[in-house]
Amino acid sequence: MILVAGSANLDFVVRASHIPAPGETVLGRDFKTFSGGKGANQAVALAIAGGVATTMIVSLGNDAFAAPLEASLNAAGVRLHIKRVADQPTGTAFICVSDDAENAITVAPGANDSLRPDDMIPLADLAQCSHLLLQLETPLPTVTAFAIAARQQGVKVVLNAAPAQSLPGELLALLDILIVNEGELAVVANHAGSIEECLERIHVPCVVVTLGSRGACARVDGQVLKQAAFPVTPVDTTGAGDTFCGAFVAALSHGQNVAQALRQASAAGALACTKPGAQSSIPTHAEVQTFLNSSIAP
């Protein structure tokens, strides 16, 4: 079993010709709501794209926005430990998706900010998990406390350091795996140089970097592994990184090595780009396997 502790947001998504520049008003077209939030997206990806038993700790408001989030997680088979918050709304995100499938996202954390260190599941249940997957849409002290608890129980700790922020050495020392994109890598490394230079400054056993249309890479045991991108026609890139994270950790839990997990996760992330929304775009494990068997990409 894999434990996810993190955020859940209701996404308000509008499509437009392009993402507005500062001070610009753009006339949009289609508007829809989708279930999202980095933590919830990754939990669904673990369960659906990864085919692994998944539990999630999440904080939700006592409002109508919580219902579709719970429904989506339940439909994916994610076991939920919900902290219900009466004085904060459920988290929301406001997303503009351009015609070239890029996006701009603003998050209102709401109840996600109420997740506290003492909201961890009982230690006996934690000890049954192989990995704890964390993100940065919940308070940093809570993320750190959860990582400490997992380490004490022999659970591997994985952090997707998004949204980007500087991380204390205490937290980095607790990590088995760090997953970042290029921008997040530069922030965590506190360095504006090359990927190789940034990786040298981060002392985590395994660091995975997603590179968008250029694929992904990882540094593990002093070796740098590279995975080319899978060719797809993107519709919406929202949730693709979260799908990658969930599929990557799921692959490791199934006994795959890092190189194999990179390939599995890259395929899942690519497929997620071909459909709109975050959780609604996550492919099934069977779809990922079919894609891998038929794709000409490495």
Any idea which residues carry the catalytic annotation?
242
Q: Is 77 left (phi over 0), alpha (psi -120 to 50) or beta?
A: left
Distance CA 268, CA 271 (A): 5
Beta bridge partners, 33, equal: 12
Q: Strand 177-181 and strand 156-160: pairing?
A: parallel
Token readout for 296 is: 């000409």
Q: Cα(268)–Cα(2) distance, rounded to whole angstroms?
A: 18
Tokens of 205: 């056993």
Q: How far apart are CA 83 and CA 85, in angstroms?
A: 6
CA angle, 74 then 10 then 18, to 5°: 130
Instruction: Determine the Cα–Cα distance for residues 194 and 94; give it in Å rounded to an integer.
Output: 32
**Residue 83: both structure tokens together:** 């902290």
Give the distance between the most distant pair of CA atoms in the chain: 53
Distance CA 57, CA 153 (A): 17
Do residues 246 and 281 lie in contact, with contact meaning Cβ atoms separated by under 8 Å? no
Tokens of 102: 């890029």
Q: State the DSSP H helix or E strand holding residue 42, giving kind and residue range, or none if neither.
A: helix 38-48
Question: Which of these, 84, 121, 109, lies nearest to 5 by C-alpha position?
Answer: 121
